[in-house]
Structures are given as structure tokens and as C-alpha cells.
């Protein structure tokens, strides 16, 4: 039994999960239970918890891709801009100003947006794996240029669209649950399968630890990296679709702005190393939920918007400290000393 508990607490996902539940519980207490109230209106679930999952869906998708990129020892800071491009492509097609032959077909728009994300990912992957540029520099190009491209696609406007079937991506419900949750479940299952049921996950961890030694073991490090960046771009495009379906249009300046930092933070809070190697997708998803729940609870607790970011920073610092092995050790030492003093007294 003790062994089982020890094993449980050693699991990477354990502490992120505890923190997430802790934040929820804290909210519950402060709001006097209001936080956990679920309402069913027209067969649809509503409530704060549901909001966290719905609004967190974009970050969860990004965290999936970012986990893989970081596991190869790279990074992708262009995901926010890719979201903007994807939203711009989808909305302008639906509006009819781009590819007017498609007559605003939503399926076509979604496909085109995802292909755009793949192309962005391929560009990043090409720079990193073939040109061997440093990942942060390589993806910085698209971070800056991507927003410009999105603005060009939108012709400098904020594109608004009227398409209930496209809105469904964000606001739709199936069996009482919001549609973005299904999107996240689908992609998580897909990536998990690809990573853990094939040897791909082993290759990624191996390349992330030591790319040269992996090459000598017969693993095509360059190809793996390329593929991972394509995956990351694709997931960012899907996140961009959810975002633009939520605001019912495309805002090239603000869509996914600064979200790349949240995505990297989600992976860090999830406990995967940012320097490559071992990774856990589910832990990163919980990391994303933690970030989203902080945002949601700050809003729901009525904290003034101008202190919002500072509060968030303080919470993040606390979480990172709680997870740091050095801090845990010195905390344990302190507890030990305290006990000894008590005994002595």
C-alpha cells in the first residue's frame, strides 16, 4: 500500500493534478460552492468548470504540440501567429473574399486553414531540421512575419463572419458537452496513440536527449524534428479555428497574442523538461488547465483587471516553487528541524 502511494506521488502528473484540484477547491470555498454549480439549459451544461474546459481547449491543443517540440530540444514561439493565420484564412474564405470559388464552404475553409497551419509548421521544421537554425530564432521569423501574413490575408480589416455552422467549433454542444472538449479529446487520443503505441515517442525522447547518438542508432533525427514542427503548426491551426469561431471573426492583431508563452508555461507546469527528453502529454494538458483555471478564477473572483497579470504571475511563481526539487528538499529540511526543536522543547 505504502509502495503504491509512493509510486503515485512519484508520477509526473501527480503534482500538477493536485494543484489543479487545489485551485478548483479554493475557488469553491471562496465562492461558497457557487463555483461548482452546473446548470443544464436546453440539455447543455453550463458552469465555471465547463468554461475552464471550453476556454482552455485552445491552450490544451497548443500544449500538446509544444510538449512534443520541447521534447525534441526545440521550441516553437510562432504558435500564436499561426493561430492568427489559420483564423484569417478560414474567415476570409467563409466571407468569400479569399478563394471565392468555394462559395464560403465551411468544410473547405477549415481544411484550408489546417493546411495553412501545416505549411507554417513545415517552414519552421525546414529551418530547424535542414538549415539547422536555432529553434527560437527560426520560429521567431514566423512569430513576427505570421501576424503580417494574417493581416495581409485580412487586408488589414477585422473580418467578421455570419456562419452558425462555423460558430459550432467553439459554441456547439454534443450530448451536453461543449464541442471544443471533443476536439481536444480527439487530438489527444490521436497524438497519444501515435506517440505511445508506435515507437515514435521513444524516438522523440531519444532525439531530445542526444540527437547525434540517436542518428548513430539509426534514427533520422532531422525527419523527426521536421514532423514534430508540422504537428505543432497543425494543432495551432486547429486552436486558431476555435478562437475565431469564438469571436465570430478574425482579428489578425489579437488572435493568439502572447499565447505561445502560456503554452510553454503549461508544459513547464506539467513537469516536462524544457531542454528535451522525457515528456508527458497528459501532464502538459493539466498544466494548460491550471493556467486556464487561474485566469477563470481571477475573473470570477472579481479581481480588478489591471492586477490580473500580476496575480497570475504570483500564482505561477508559487506553482513553480512548489514543483522545484530544491525547494521541496529545503522545505522538508525545515520541517525536520522544526520537529526536532519541538521534541527538544
Partner 1 sequence: MNQKFIEMQHISKSFPGVKALSDVPFTLDKGEIHALLGENGAGKSTLIKVLTGVEHRDEGVILLEGKPINARTPQEAQRLGISTVYQEVNLCPNLSVTENIFIGREHKRRGFIDWNYANEASEKLLKMFNLDIDVTQTLSRYSVAIQQMVAIARAVDISAKVLILDEPTSSLSAVEVQELFKIMRMLKDRGMGIIFVTHFLDQVYGISDTITILRNGEYVGTYPTSDLTRIQLVGKMIGKEYSEIDEKASEFQQQKKDKEVIMELKNASSAHIKGIDLSLRKGEVMGFGGLLGSGRSETARMLFAADPLLEGTLEIGGNTVQMKYTLDAIRNGIAFCPEDRKSDGIIGELSIRENIILALQAKRGVFKTISNAEAESIAQEYIEKLQIKTPGTDQLIKNLSGGNQQKVILARWLATDPNLLILDEPTRGIDVGTKAEIQRMVISLADGGMALVFISSEIDEMLRCCNRMTIMRDKEQVGELVGSEITEAAIMEYIAGGVQ
Residues near partner 1, by CB under 8 A? 197-200, 202-203, 205-206, 209-210, 212-220, 277-278
36 versus 193: smaller Cβ distance to partner 1: 193
**Separation in Å, CA 118 to CA 10, 70, 189, 275, 319:** 36, 18, 19, 24, 34
Taking the complex as a whole, the smallest distance from the CB of residue 259 to partner 1 amounts, in Å, to: 29
193 versus 327: smaller Cβ distance to partner 1: 193
Taking the complex as a whole, the smallest distance from the CB of residue 38 to partner 1 amounts, in Å, to: 40
Q: Is the dihedral angle over the CA atoms 242, 243, 245, 251 positive or is it negative?
A: negative
173 versus 203: smaller Cβ distance to partner 1: 203
190: its cell numbers: 490521436
Taking the complex as a whole, the smallest distance from the CB of residue 64 to partner 1 amounts, in Å, to: 19
Q: Answer yes or no: are the C-beta atoms of 13 and 282 closer than 8 Å.
A: yes
326 versus 344: smaller Cβ distance to partner 1: 326
Taking the complex as a whole, the smallest distance from the CB of residue 267 to partner 1 amounts, in Å, to: 16
214 versus 296: smaller Cβ distance to partner 1: 214
Taking the complex as a whole, the smallest distance from the CB of residue 200 to partner 1 amounts, in Å, to: 5
Q: Which of 116, 103, 181, 174 is nearest to 146 (CA)?
A: 116
- Residue 67 CA to residue 165 CA, distance in Å, equals 31
8 versus 213: smaller Cβ distance to partner 1: 213
- Residue 215 CA to residue 210 CA, distance in Å, equals 9
Q: Answer yes or no: are the C-beta atoms of 194 and 228 closer than 8 Å.
A: no
217 versus 253: smaller Cβ distance to partner 1: 217
Taking the complex as a whole, the smallest distance from the CB of residue 194 to partner 1 amounts, in Å, to: 9
Taking the complex as a whole, the smallest distance from the CB of residue 321 to partner 1 amounts, in Å, to: 24
- Residue 253 CA to residue 250 CA, distance in Å, equals 9
Q: Which of 327, 254, 321, 263 is nearest to 290 (CA)?
A: 263
144: its cell numbers: 513576427
- Rg over alpha carbons for the chain, rounded to the nearest Å, is 22
The H-or-E segment that residue 152 falls in is helix 135-153
Count the neighbouring beta carbons within 10 Å of the beta carbon of residue 234: 24
Taking the complex as a whole, the smallest distance from the CB of residue 63 to partner 1 amounts, in Å, to: 21
248 versus 278: smaller Cβ distance to partner 1: 278
Amino acid at each position: 500500500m505504502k509502495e503504491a502511494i509512493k509510486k503515485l506521488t512519484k508520477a509526473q502528473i501527480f503534482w500538477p493534478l493536485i494543484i489543479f484540484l487545489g485551485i478548483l477547491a479554493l475557488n469553491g470555498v471562496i465562492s461558497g460552492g457557487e463555483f461548482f454549480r452546473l446548470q443544464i439549459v436546453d440539455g447543455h451544461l453550463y458552469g465555471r468548470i465547463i468554461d475552464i474546459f471550453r476556454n482552455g481547449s485552445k491552450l490544451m491543443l497548443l500544449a500538446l504540440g509544444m510538449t512534443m517540440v520541447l521534447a525534441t530540444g526545440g521550441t516553437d514561439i510562432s504558435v500564436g501567429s499561426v493561430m492568427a493565420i489559420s483564423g484569417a484564412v478560414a474567415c476570409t474564405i467563409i466571407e468569400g473574399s479569399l478563394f471565392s470559388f468555394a462559395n464560403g464552404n465551411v468544410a473547405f475553409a477549415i481544411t484550408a486553414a489546417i493546411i495553412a497551419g501545416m505549411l507554417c509548421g513545415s517552414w519552421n521544421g525546414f529551418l530547424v531540421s535542414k538549415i539547422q537554425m536555432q529553434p527560437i530564432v527560426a520560429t521567431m521569423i514566423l512569430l513576427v512575419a505570421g501576424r503580417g501574413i494574417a493581416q495581409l490575408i485580412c487586408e488589414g480589416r477585422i473580418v467578421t463572419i455570419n456562419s452558425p455552422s462555423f460558430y459550432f467549433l467553439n459554441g456547439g454542444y454534443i450530448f451536453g458537452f461543449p464541442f471544443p472538449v471533443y476536439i481536444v479529446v480527439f487530438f489527444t487520443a490521436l497524438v497519444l496513440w501515435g506517440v505511445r503505441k508506435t515507437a515514435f515517442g521513444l524516438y522523440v525522447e531519444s532525439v531530445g536527449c542526444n540527437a547525434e547518438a540517436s542518428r548513430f542508432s539509426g534514427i533520422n533525427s532531422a525527419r523527426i524534428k521536421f514532423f514534430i514542427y508540422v504537428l505543432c503548426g497543425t494543432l495551432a491551426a486547429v486552436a486558431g479555428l476555435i478562437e475565431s469561431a469564438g469571436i465570430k471573426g478574425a482579428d489578425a492583431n489579437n488572435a493568439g497574442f502572447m499565447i505561445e508563452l502560456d503554452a510553454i508555461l503549461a508544459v513547464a507546469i506539467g513537469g516536462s523538461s524544457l531542454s528535451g527528453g522525457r515528456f508527458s502529454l497528459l501532464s502538459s494538458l493539466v498544466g494548460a488547465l491550471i493556467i486556464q483555471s487561474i485566469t477563470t478564477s481571477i475573473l470570477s473572483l472579481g479581481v480588478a483587471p489591471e492586477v490580473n497579470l500580476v496575480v497570475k504571475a504570483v500564482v505561477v511563481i508559487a506553482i513553480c516553487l512548489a514543483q522545484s526539487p530544491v525547494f521541496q528538499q529545503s522545505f522538508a529540511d525545515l520541517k525536520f528541524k522544526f520537529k526536532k526543536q519541538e521534541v527538544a522543547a
